[in-house]
């Protein structure tokens, strides 16, 4: 992708990921985050949550994947998000994380890619920004 030309506002990647309770178990095992709000409805609701929630870092990791697939992991310089809304995961079935990545800024040697991550039409990550090296 040498000499790649990007334009502010251009959609560079899209995607969707279905997350179910099995995914939460696998992520807990990989990350070591066994907080019961991620697998027990009774605990989650007892602390005022709508039910079991996806791990924030899992959501963050899934949201950047279309950008990684488009540009390659070796070109990612920085990635930051704000967690703005929890992602409840139902006991049966899954929840769909819908993703769209647009060019927000182009500089001499890098671009800022702004990722919009939504569940049920509501944004779940704020200021999700990926800095990508331009070759």
The 10s digit of each residue's pLDDT in 72-120 is: 999 999 999 999 999 999 999 999 999 999 999 999 999 999 999 999 9
CATH number at residue 85: 3.10.129.10
> For the whole model, what pTM was predicted?
0.93
98: in domain = yes
28: in domain = no
94: in domain = yes
38: in domain = no
62: in domain = yes
1 pLDDT band, cuts 50/70/90, is very low
Would you say residue 2 has pLDDT above 60?
Answer: no
110: in domain = yes
Tokens, residue 30: 């990989």
Q: Which domain holds residue 79?
A: 11-19+54-133
User: Percentage of residues in the chain with pLDDT exceeding 90?
Assistant: 96
How many independent structural domains does the chain possess? 1
Q: What pLDDT is recorded for position 135?
A: 81
61: in domain = yes
Would you say residue 31 has pLDDT above 80?
Answer: yes
32: in domain = no
């Amino acid at each position: 992708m040498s000499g790649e030309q990007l334009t502010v506002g251009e959609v560079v990647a899209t995607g969707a990921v279905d997350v179910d309770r099995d995914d939460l178990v696998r992520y807990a095992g990989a990350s070591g985050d066994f907080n019961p709000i991620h697998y027990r409805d009774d605990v989650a609701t007892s602390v005022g949550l709508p039910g079991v929630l996806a791990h924030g870092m899992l959501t963050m990791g899934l949201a950047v994947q279309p950008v990684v697939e488009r540009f390659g992991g070796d070109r990612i310089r920085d990635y930051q998000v704000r967690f703005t809304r929890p992602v409840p995961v139902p006991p049966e079935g899954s929840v769909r994380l819908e993703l769209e990545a647009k060019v927000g800024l182009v500089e001499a040697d890098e671009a800022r890619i702004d990722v919009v991550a939504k569940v049920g039409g509501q944004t779940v990550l704020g200021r999700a920004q990926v800095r990508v090296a331009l070759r």
